[in-house]
């Protein structure tokens, strides 16, 4: 039986009287609504249980992390209701409401006078976003990451991603291998890079930390008045991992001079000015707690995350475009080629990228 947003909200312990709701944001996984009441405003989300099959583990991760963040922000004399997400409990004491039809909902306090952006407009903006992600990591540096559930197993296990890639090459289920032999060889020649961070974690050289795993620009709320990054949002993929994954993926997405599916490869490169802006902001907040090995691998992590994402796109192309949503013919192949060009440029600039890292590690 279908329930209206009014009926769903009635199960949550929010302040005020319900006025109305409207779709909110540009997310592609969960269904999100802005709830207006006579008191505060709230965010209502229907969790996509097709993606997050164990929603209870997901919500337990979020509760644990946001509770810790609230404590750390209060200790730093900040505003925990503005600087991190606040879950609103259901009236039965649970953190979600499960409807009769199986849909699962959660509610957050809405953060007023803050916006998110879809693309990097200036180096200064990227610097402020980096500070927010760095602060997020800094606040969680003493959180026991091993207590979190791995809600998406092997999400950044590049060794496993390579194994899936090689299986796709071998099976060639839709007969596309012959058209992408050059791209296949490019990635296979770099297979040795896949285990570098995993090996460092297993040796204890890189600590297991709480990782966000989706460090895109639009997952930081920016204060409308100050322009500062104030809150990291979208905690669905918070899991144990390496902070190198978060840093590297932020660079892959944010420091590229082109869209991740750009067809004109002459437009694709890594911007050293954007790389420096993000590195500066991130290390300002986290630098003192980074290990020597994390510092050594920081620039490399950008290449590794670009490599991982590139092989995932090419794997999906070989498998017949069954995972990533496509909007044109050869869309996943275009994405893979963009990542190949970005990797080549990172390899050419790796010495300069490392110099930038050590500039801010002193």
Q: Are the CB atoms for 319 and 332 separated by under 8 Å? A: no
Q: Is the dihedral of CA 62, 68, 69, 70 positive or negative?
A: positive
Nearest partner of 62 among 40, 89, 31, 33, judged by Cα: 89
3-state SS record for 195-230 = HHHHHHHHCCCCCCEEECCCCCHHHEEEECCCCCEE
The CA-atom distances, in angstroms, between 158 and each of 150, 153, 190, 191, 326 are 16, 12, 11, 9, 23
Mean pLDDT of 210-225: 94
pLDDT in tens, 93-102: 999 999 999 9
Mean pLDDT of 223-238: 94
Map tokens 């609504």 to a residue. 33
Give yes or no for residue 28 having a pLDDT over 80: no
Map tokens 């060009």 to a residue. 341
Structural domains present in the chain: 5-111 (3.30.200.20), 123-359 (3.90.1200.10)
Mean pLDDT of 148-161: 91
Give yes or no for residue 362 having a pLDDT over 80: no
Element (H, E) at 20: strand 18-23
DSSP state of 91: T
pLDDT in tens, 297-356: 999 999 999 999 999 999 999 999 988 888 999 999 999 999 999 999 999 999 999 999
Contacts of 219 (CB under 8 A, 6+ apart): 116, 212, 232, 233, 234
- Per-residue pLDDT band for 258 (boundaries 50, 70, 90) equals very high
DSSP 32-65: EEEEEESS-EEEEEEE-TTT-S-HHHHHHHHHHH
This prediction's pTM: 0.92
- pLDDT value for 1: 59
């Amino acid at each position: 039986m279908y329930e209206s947003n009014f009926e769903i909200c009635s199960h949550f312990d929010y302040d005020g009287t319900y006025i109305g709701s409207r779709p909110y944001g540009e997310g592609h996984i969960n269904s999100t609504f802005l709830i207006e009441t006579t008191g505060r405003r709230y965010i209502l989300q229907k969790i996509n249980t097709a993606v997050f099959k164990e929603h209870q583990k997901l919500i337990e991760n979020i509760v644990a992390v946001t509770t810790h963040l609230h404590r750390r922000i209060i200790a730093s004399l900040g505003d925990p209701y503005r600087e991190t997400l606040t879950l609103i409990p259901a009236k039965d004491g649970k953190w979600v409401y499960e409807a009769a039809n199986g849909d699962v909902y959660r509610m957050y306090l809405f953060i007023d006078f803050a916006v998110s952006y879809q693309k990097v407009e200036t180096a200064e903006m990227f610097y402020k976003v980096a500070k927010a992600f760095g602060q997020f990591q800094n606040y969680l540096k003493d959180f026991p990451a091993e207590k979190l559930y791995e809600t998406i197993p092997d999400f950044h296990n590049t060794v496993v991603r390579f194994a899936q890639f090689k299986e796709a090459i071998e099976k060639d289920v839709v007969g596309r291998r012959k058209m992408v032999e050059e791209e296949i060889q490019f990635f296979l020649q770099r297979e040795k890079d896949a285990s570098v961070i995993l090996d460092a974690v297993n040796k204890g050289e890189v600590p297991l930390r709480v990782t966000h795993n989706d460090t895109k620009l639009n997952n930081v709320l920016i204060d409308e008045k100050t322009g500062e990054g104030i809150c990291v949002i979208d905690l669905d993929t918070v899991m144990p991992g390496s902070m190198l994954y978060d840093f590297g993926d932020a660079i892959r997405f944010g420091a590229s001079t082109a869209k991740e599916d750009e067809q004109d490869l002459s437009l694709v490169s890594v911007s050293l000015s954007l790389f420096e802006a993000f590195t500066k902001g991130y290390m300002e907040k986290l630098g003192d707690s980074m290990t020597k090995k994390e510092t050594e691998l920081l620039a490399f992590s950008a290449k590794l995350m670009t490599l991982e994402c590139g092989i995932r796109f090419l794997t999906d192309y070989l498998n017949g475009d069954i995972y990533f949503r496509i909007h044109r013919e050869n869309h996943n192949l275009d994405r893979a080629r963009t990542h190949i060009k970005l990797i080549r440029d990172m390899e050419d600039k790796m010495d300069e990228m490392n110099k930038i890292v050590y500039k801010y590690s002193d």
